[in-house]
Amino acid sequence: MIIPLGEKVLVKPMEAKEVKKGGIIIPDTAKEKPQEGEIIAVGTGKKTDDGKVIALDVKAGDKVLFGKYSGTEVKIDDVEYLIMSQDDILGIVR
């Protein structure tokens, strides 16, 4: 398992649902990247210039929305994840 550092979070993107338009099945290569995922692990928080640590607003288990091209893709045990800054997260899905 990877434990993110600082203000980074580990996100497991949710699988894109198969989209049908007018009876045509869109192939995997034409589907958009998922923009929703689940937080798997979070870092310790953001450090300020004076050394204080500000806790993150998200926690493991949260479902989040993020930008289309956010984060860095990593593969752990054949499962794809994204490591991104908390600033790349647009919101928490309730």
In this structure, what CATH number is given to the domain that contains residue 83? 2.30.33.40
Binning pLDDT at 50, 70 and 90, where does residue 84 land?
Answer: very high
Q: Give the sign of the dihedral formed by CA 35, CA 36, CA 39, CA 44.
A: positive
Q: What pLDDT score was predicted for residue 82?
A: 96
Domain that holds residue 67: 8-14+33-93
Q: What are phi and psi of 87, to 5 degrees?
A: -65, -20
Residue 49 has pLDDT above 60, yes or no: yes
Q: What does the pLDDT average to over 70-90?
A: 94
Q: Are strands 46-47 and 63-66 parallel, antiparallel or unpaired?
A: unpaired
Q: Contact 11/39 with Cβ under 8 angstroms?
A: yes
Q: How many CB atoms lie within 10 A of CB 83?
A: 20
Q: Tell me whether residue 66 is exposed, middle or buried, using C-beta atoms within 10 angstroms of its C-beta: 0 to 12, 13 to 18, 19 or more.
A: buried
- The structural domain count of the chain equals 1
Q: What pLDDT score was predicted for residue 31?
A: 60
Q: What is the pTM of this model?
A: 0.79
Q: Tell me whether residue 41 is exposed, middle or buried, using C-beta atoms within 10 angstroms of its C-beta: 0 to 12, 13 to 18, 19 or more.
A: middle
Q: What pLDDT score was predicted for residue 65?
A: 95
Inside any domain, residue 27: no
Q: What pLDDT score was predicted for residue 68?
A: 87
Inside any domain, residue 22: no
